[in-house]
Amino acid sequence: MLWHGGLSGSAPLKVAEEGHFLADTIGVIPVSQTLFGPLNLAVTLSLLVVIPLALWRLMPRDESKMVAYPAVQLDDEPEPEERDARAGLLRVLEETRALNVACASVLGVYLVWFFGERGASGWNLDTINLTFLALGLGMHRSPRSYVAAVADGAKGCAGILLQFPFYFGILGLLKSSGLIAQIAEAFVAVSGPTSFPVLTFLSAGVVNFLVPSGGGQWAVQGPVMMKAVGALGVDPTRAIMAMSYGDAWTNMLQPFWALPLLGIMGLKARDIIGYTAFVLAVTGPVIMFWLVVL
């Protein structure tokens, strides 16, 4: 529920990049106005309070009604193989922590300098990827350990990797047919400056069923929304965040995003969909309240 209004949100990060595809229309909008703006802080903090409280209220008070799932046994990370005296320098390098520490330190120093120069405006998809790379290297005991962890993690998200080529095929069909633009324009046609953010939120929720990709949805729906922003005189940051919230909101009814987590926990989608649907019902009014008030 927090992802598209969080530090990895596709739309807010894209509009913060120099020369993004809507720069001629809305200019460059730094994350200080979107992710760290009053609207997003209010929405995020509200969801961080409301969602845990709602799920806690669902918890059975009678322990006999609770269902315990089998604990998932995770294998311990294997110890490095004994070094072969004839393996030479390469084997030593791939099993030593020093190389990880050196690479992570260089990346860390660069990131500190970069954000010192740019501030919050330097936060984009590239710096997020670089930050995770530095953290991953720094937290593993050797290059070999890090490579093994990446390979194991890729297995957990195999379902996501398989689905997204099909999603983008669907996206191409919907874009070329004009259906997504028609859905968005239908909402815009009946909205005014006050109701536009709420209707943008709802339309994004509908479009998300067709294109469950935040970046892909912004690429298709963004131009329509920004055109309406100019016509209605609405702050573009409100429309950007409204679309972001709508994209995350209806993910609660199609938990493809949870496939890696479900695999790790030994659960199936049907085990959580009742809870995620409840979260959708509880959080929708909260988000729309802030879109109107702020």
pLDDT digits (tens, 9 = 90+) for 279-294: 999 999 999 999 999 8
- Which of 20-34, 106-120, 247-261 shows the lowest per-residue confidence on average (mean pLDDT)? 247-261
Cα gap 136→154, rounded to integer Å: 14
Backbone phi, psi, residue 233, to 5°: 75, 35
Residue 227 pLDDT level (bands cut at 50, 70, 90): confident
Q: Is 69 helix (H, G, I), strand (E, B) or coil?
A: coil
Would the pLDDT of 78 be above 60? no
Cα gap 99→93, rounded to integer Å: 7
The pTM for the full model equals 0.70
Instruction: Output b/e per residue, 61-86; b: 16+ Cβ within 10 A.
Output: eeeeeeeeeeeeeeeeeeeeeeeeee
Would the pLDDT of 82 be above 60? no
Would the pLDDT of 170 be above 80? no
Cα gap 43→20, rounded to integer Å: 26
Would the pLDDT of 238 be above 90? yes
Cα gap 202→223, rounded to integer Å: 17
Cα gap 68→120, rounded to integer Å: 43
Residue 86 pLDDT level (bands cut at 50, 70, 90): very low
- Which of 111-120, 155-164, 228-237, 247-256 shows the lowest per-residue confidence on average (mean pLDDT)? 155-164
Would the pLDDT of 91 be above 50? yes
What is the Cα Rg of the chain in Å? 22
Cα gap 187→196, rounded to integer Å: 8
Amino acid 69: pLDDT: 66
- Which of 31-45, 155-169, 244-258 shows the lowest per-residue confidence on average (mean pLDDT)? 155-169
